[in-house]
Amino acid sequence: MIVQEPVQAAIWHCLNHYDYTDAVFLSERLYAEVKSDESLFLLATAYFRNGQKDHAYHILKDRTDASAQCRYLFGICAYELEKYAEAEDVLLENQSGSNSMDNIVEEFGDQAAFALVLLGKIAAKTERKARAIDAWKRALKLNPFLWSSFESLCKIGDKPNPQNIFQINNMENLSMCHGNSINNIESVVITTNAISQDNQETFNTPPPSQQILTNFNPNMNAKQLCTPEDSPLAAPLCMSGIRPIQGTRKVMRVKPETGSNSPQPTFGQFFDSPSDYGSPTFSQPMLPGSNSHHQSLAKRMRAQVDLFINRKESIFQNCKPVFSQSTNVPATKTPTIPLAIQPCQNVRRSSRLFSNNYSVKENNKSPNRNKFATPKSPSRKTKQRISKCNLNKNSSYTELNTRNKMEKEKSETVTSSETEKSAIPPSATAESCIEQAIQMQRQSAEGLMCLLRDIGEAYLDLSQFNCVTAIERLNSLPPNQFNTSWVYCLLGLAYFEQADYETCVKYFSEVHDKEPYRLEFMDVYSTALWHLQKEVVLSALAQDLVNLNKNSPITWCVSGNCFSLHKEHDTAIKFFQRAVQVDPHFPYAYTLLGHEYITTEELDKAMSCFRNAVRLDPRHYNAWFGIGTIYSKQERYRLAEMNYAKALSINSRSSVILCHIGVVQHALKETEKALATFNTAINNNPKSPLCKFHRGSVYFALGRHAEALKELEELKEIVPKESLVYYLIGKVHKKLGNTDLALMHFSWATDLDPKGASSQIKEACDPAFGRSNPDIETPASPSPEEYPSESNSEPRAAPINYNGLPDDSEDSF
Amino acid sequence: MSLKRASNVDPIKNERAGNVREVGSQAIWSLSSCKPGFGVDQLRDDRADTYWQSDGQLPHLVNIQFQRKTTISDIYIYTDYKLDESYTPSRISIRVGTHFNDIQEIEVITLSEPSGWVHVPIKDIRDKPIRVFMIQIAVTSNHQNGRDTHMRQIKIHSPIETPNIPMDNFLNFSTVELQQHATIR
């Protein structure tokens, strides 16, 4: 043991600083010396982080006596290498033949939640939906911070309840969520101590804190030494107690022997080491120097407290109803004040720590005491009263997300000057400090839970395609969270599912401007641009992404969409195939490839693509729709209807799907049903021009000319430039016998669109002159070189005096 | 029989317009003879600088066989007198049918120092594109009575057919407002 410790510390040090090559080398040497479980785990971790997953897999294989963490790591390697059966076996190893996941918690301890997440993923990949749902739900119960499990639940079609899931009920939960929390609290105290020494900005922590930390407890696992140093942000985060939450990924590394959560010994050690204090209580040395210091700070804090008084009210209402009701112990009131103030991360931390224990002063002045008394139910409307302010209003958990947020928010934090201190409260004792630190953690965790509940509701709505409610909920998020790319992307996605492509594109273009390196959801953006036929923007996007990252399927999907818009379908197919090659588990690539094959009439290949997409994601309604389209092209309408219905069952609000179902029903001669479908579609989406158009056609086909005319006239108002509308009106008039009106409309139609539908129109126009009931529908297959001559040969009625027609139609004479 | 001068036709532009599709990739191509390194690949590589060079007796044949009966509206041939001189074909016969023993000549074109794409529209008696299993492009004579021929590119266009279902006719709207809602992608 003694031999290992410094070497292990060195290896973890390397790993924490991303020097994986050295870590691998050192762990190999260590493993050669001491073939223990711990060293094996370290070696495997080093390989895994260095990207040598297969190497890690092979050294961990066949170790039946491996510890829980080794088995977990092996499970992850096997999963990444797509060896799902082995991964599952190793995770459920000591289950005495049963398949249950009940013993996972005892087996894996802290890692249980992650083991469950992995089990869920394996079950999802092996098409055992119920088991996957069960695993993820258990994981979330253990650790509600695991948002990805919630996402997976939504995506697989389950309807988890965010209100129940995102709760922090007891302390055990919290400690499991972020591993060794108490140890991190020490580092919190330590770093604050260090900082006050420096009297510098908080970002300057690493060197002094490091020295102090290395002074004490060489038996502690070195990873904790590293926790404050991980990033410049980490130190202030430590102080805020957020560090523990981010340490979830380090949970694996918690060694059992250092898991002793008793605060006393470690604090004792802390006291021993720094020799310049010379007093058993760490607070004392702070007293002389810091009093004046934190009095001035207190003044500034009060000023800010006044500043943010409005916001705190809503914050408390929205985020901390639980807290304010549950733990209103007097000692804990104070910590909430600095949590609420939050102008900037630094001040918040500092204020929290020093106002923590020290004094009544802050308590008296804090005006937000009354907020505790009246916790209102979280009402979305109050948030809208908040003026747009880029300052962090919510509690400290937002620091977790700062890395995702816009840089401007950081720059606008109020007190850059206040980054100085956090003087250690003079009058605190060790235990109360720990308690308060724990309380702080709980509060910040609770704040995060509050946010996750809101986001969870919105995400759930979106995955059930209740887009309107989802948009509302997303809009009611606090501005600093709202202005993140992820939320904007979700909003864009919501509008996309509603087929409101203009708004969708607006949001996505903002995201792309702010974060041009962001890749997720760009495929949705590109499809929206494809629908809107915005070639330039789409080409630009494709170029940007290709320059950014050629290894992502999303890049190639976007490029394929770009070429498809330019009608170069072969190239588009090539790019979509590339997307599939790059990531065979990305369902949308298959769907897009399928659509391209439909365009090039290779229906069998298209079918196999759609089937692949559906296999990967059964809720991918685009793929079901594609299958329906194939059958509809093959004129197998019953099958088409079935598949469209399946798509509709997933996304019940899409008017496009309803329209297609209606069309197919009409083709099946079930016109009543078709009409009913169109009526539903229009009720869902009254502005949708497509539905009106199809309903008009159905009326015409049924011979209900008056209704058809009414419908089409309305449509003419909505979409004045659509030639097919005029064409259809012309046909109706012709049927009614109004030849002149018919001719007029036909000529307008031709003027609007000389090329596209002219074949049909030409056929219609000629018969309109005299012949009695020609077959208008026979499409003359157009050959391109005829078109230039065609538009010249049809000057029927001079389109002079009608309103509603654009001026440029006169150019087509 | 028609005299063709290569004018500024551009098959790519028509493809982009969305009315026709290049269907050569759906067919099996074969040649009556070729010099090694100057075969079908060079004929179909979308590059004007590589070419097919025949290596046998006149007439030189390019056989294009489809798996399904395909509607053909145009054939485009790229030749260049300035580069190829005596290798440039001067008379080309187009024959179509179901298989080798069942083809008929439908078109003969005479070229006179062409330089670029030559467009051969394919129509039947009723002025509609034809539906065939096989096309054979035969070079019956070359400029300056050359023996072998160079052909740089061949493209076959098929019209994108609007299906006969009445409703589906309307899935090609002319405005973006309606077209964006026409389908789900």
Q: Is the pLDDT of residue B112 over 80?
A: yes
Q: Which of A625, A753, A780 sits opposite B184 (nearest CB)?
A: A625
CB A722 within 8 A of CB B174: yes
Contact (CB<8Å) B182/A785? no
- What is residue B6's predicted lDDT score, i.e. its pLDDT? 52
- Which amino acid belongs to residue A168? I
ipTM above 0.90, yes or no: no
> CB distance from A96 to chain B under 8 Å?
no
**Alpha-carbon distances, residue A268 vs A161, A256, A260, A262, A430 (angstroms):** 44, 20, 14, 11, 9
Low-confidence ranges of chain A (pLDDT < 70): 1-4, 64, 94-99, 169-428, 755-813
Query: CA of B174: which chain A residue's CA is closest?
Result: A722
3-state secondary structure of B44: coil
Ramachandran angles phi, psi of B159, nearest 5°: -70, 145
pTM confidence score: 0.69
Query: CA of B176: which chain A residue's CA is closest?
Result: A532
DSSP B163: P
Contact (CB<8Å) B74/A532? no
Query: How close B22 gets to chain A, by Cα (Å)?
Result: 9
Q: Give burial (CB, 10 Å; 0-12/13-18/19+) of A221.
A: buried
C-alpha distance across the termini of chain A, in Å: 93
Question: How many Å apart are CA A641 and CA A664, to the nearest integer?
Answer: 6
- Which amino acid belongs to residue A128? R
Cβ partners under 8 Å of residue A132, min gap 6: A120, A121, A123, A124, A152, A156
Chain A partners of B169 at a C-beta cutoff of 8 Å? 760, 777, 779
| Tokens found for residue A114 | 């992650």
Ramachandran angles phi, psi of B155, nearest 5°: -130, 140
**Alpha-carbon distances, residue A120 vs A74, A88, A159, A165 (angstroms):** 16, 10, 16, 16
| Strands of the sheet with B2-4, listed across from one edge | B2-4, B103-111, B89-97, B130-142, B60-72, B27-31
Chain B partners of A755 at a C-beta cutoff of 8 Å? 17, 19
Contact (CB<8Å) B172/A756? yes
3-state secondary structure of A662: helix
- What is residue B4's predicted lDDT score, i.e. its pLDDT? 59
**Computed from CA positions of residues A182, A186, A187, A188, in that sequence, does the dihedral angle turn out positive or negative?**
positive
| Tokens found for residue A267 | 């604090």
Question: How many Å apart are CA A298 and CA A365, to the nearest integer?
Answer: 10
Question: How many Å apart are CA A460 and CA A153, to the nearest integer?
Answer: 9
CB B123 within 8 A of CB B26: no
Residue A465 φ/ψ region, left for φ over 0, alpha for ψ in the -120 to 50 degree band, beta for the rest: left
Q: Is pLDDT larger for residue A792 or for residue B79?
A: B79
> What kind and span of H or E run contains B137?
strand B130-142
Contact (CB<8Å) B169/A760? yes
Query: How close A697 gets to chain B, by Cα (Å)?
Result: 8
**Computed from CA positions of residues A657, A661, A664, A666, in that sequence, does the dihedral angle turn out positive or negative?**
negative
Question: How many Å apart are CA A471 and CA B92, to the nearest integer?
Answer: 64
CB B71 within 8 A of CB B161: yes
Closest CA to A736 of A774, A714, A704: A704
Q: Which of A496, A531, A599 to probe the B interface (max B CBs under 10 A)? A: A531
- The number of CA neighbours under 13 Å toward the Cβ of B172 is 18
Question: How many Å apart are CA A693 and CA A654, to the nearest integer?
Answer: 16
Question: How many Å apart are CA A90 and CA A83, to the nearest integer?
Answer: 11
> CB distance from A570 to chain B under 8 Å?
yes
Contact (CB<8Å) B178/A690? yes
Contact (CB<8Å) B182/A779? no
Question: How many Å apart are CA A402 and CA A474, to the nearest integer?
Answer: 18
Chain A partners of B155 at a C-beta cutoff of 8 Å? none
Question: How many Å apart are CA A391 and CA A385, to the nearest integer?
Answer: 15
- What is residue A623's predicted lDDT score, i.e. its pLDDT? 94
Which residue do the tokens 């088409």 mark?
A640
- What is residue A111's predicted lDDT score, i.e. its pLDDT? 84
Query: How close B167 gets to chain A, by Cα (Å)?
Result: 7
Contact (CB<8Å) B166/A784? no
Contact (CB<8Å) A689/B18? no
- What is residue A197's predicted lDDT score, i.e. its pLDDT? 43
Query: How close A724 gets to chain B, by Cα (Å)?
Result: 7
CB burial string A79-96: b at 16+ within 10 A, e below: beeebbebbbebbbeeee
**Alpha-carbon distances, residue A76 vs A48, A114, A254 (angstroms):** 10, 10, 18
What DSSP string describes A741-802? HHHHHHHHHHHH-SSTTHHHHHHHHHHHHS-SS--TTPPPPP-GGGHHHHHHT---S---S-
CB A743 within 8 A of CB A796: yes
- What is residue A284's predicted lDDT score, i.e. its pLDDT? 39
- What is residue A777's predicted lDDT score, i.e. its pLDDT? 40
> What kind and span of H or E run contains B65?
strand B60-72
Question: How many Å apart are CA A163 and CA A449, to the nearest integer?
Answer: 9
Chain B partners of A701 at a C-beta cutoff of 8 Å? 166
B-contacting residues in A 738-767 (Cβ below 8 Å):
752-753, 755-757, 759-760
Query: CA of A625: which chain B residue's CA is closest?
Result: B184
3-state secondary structure of A708: helix
Q: Give burial (CB, 10 Å; 0-12/13-18/19+) of B67.
A: exposed
Strand-pair partners of B35: B38
Question: How many Å apart are CA A234 and CA A120, to the nearest integer?
Answer: 31
Closest CA to A560 of A579, A575, A580: A575
> What kind and span of H or E run contains B116?
strand B115-121
- What is residue A755's predicted lDDT score, i.e. its pLDDT? 67
Query: CA of A525: which chain B residue's CA is closest?
Result: B185
DSSP B162: P
CA angle B11, A564, B153 (to 5 degrees): 25
Question: How many Å apart are CA A186 and CA A244, to the nearest integer?
Answer: 11
Question: How many Å apart are CA A217 and CA A9, to the nearest integer?
Answer: 12
Cβ partners under 8 Å of residue A1, min gap 6: none
Chain B partners of A788 at a C-beta cutoff of 8 Å? none
Confidence of residue B55 (pLDDT cuts 50, 70, 90): very high
Question: How many Å apart are CA B79 and CA B10, to the nearest integer?
Answer: 13
Question: How many Å apart are CA A341 and CA A414, to the nearest integer?
Answer: 11
Q: What count of other Cβ atoms lies within 10 Å of the Cβ of residue A269?
A: 16
Cβ partners under 8 Å of residue A465, min gap 6: A497, A650, A651, A652, A653, A654
pLDDT 10s digits, B97-111: 999 999 999 999 999
CB A381 within 8 A of CB A310: no
Query: Please, what's the largest Cα pairwise distance for chain A?
Result: 112
Q: Which of B17, B71, B170 sits opposite A724 (nearest CB)?
A: B170
- The β-bridge relationship of strands B103-111 and B2-4 is parallel
> CB distance from A686 to chain B under 8 Å?
no
Radius of gyration of chain A from Cα atoms? 33
Closest CA to A252 of A105, A110, A82: A110
CA angle A123, A126, A127 (to 5 degrees): 85
Whats the size of chain B, residue-wise? 185
Question: How many Å apart are CA A748 and CA A325, to the nearest integer?
Answer: 70
- What is residue B127's predicted lDDT score, i.e. its pLDDT? 86
CA angle B116, B122, B128 (to 5 degrees): 145
**Computed from CA positions of residues A255, A256, A258, A261, in that sequence, does the dihedral angle turn out positive or negative?**
positive
- What is residue A758's predicted lDDT score, i.e. its pLDDT? 52
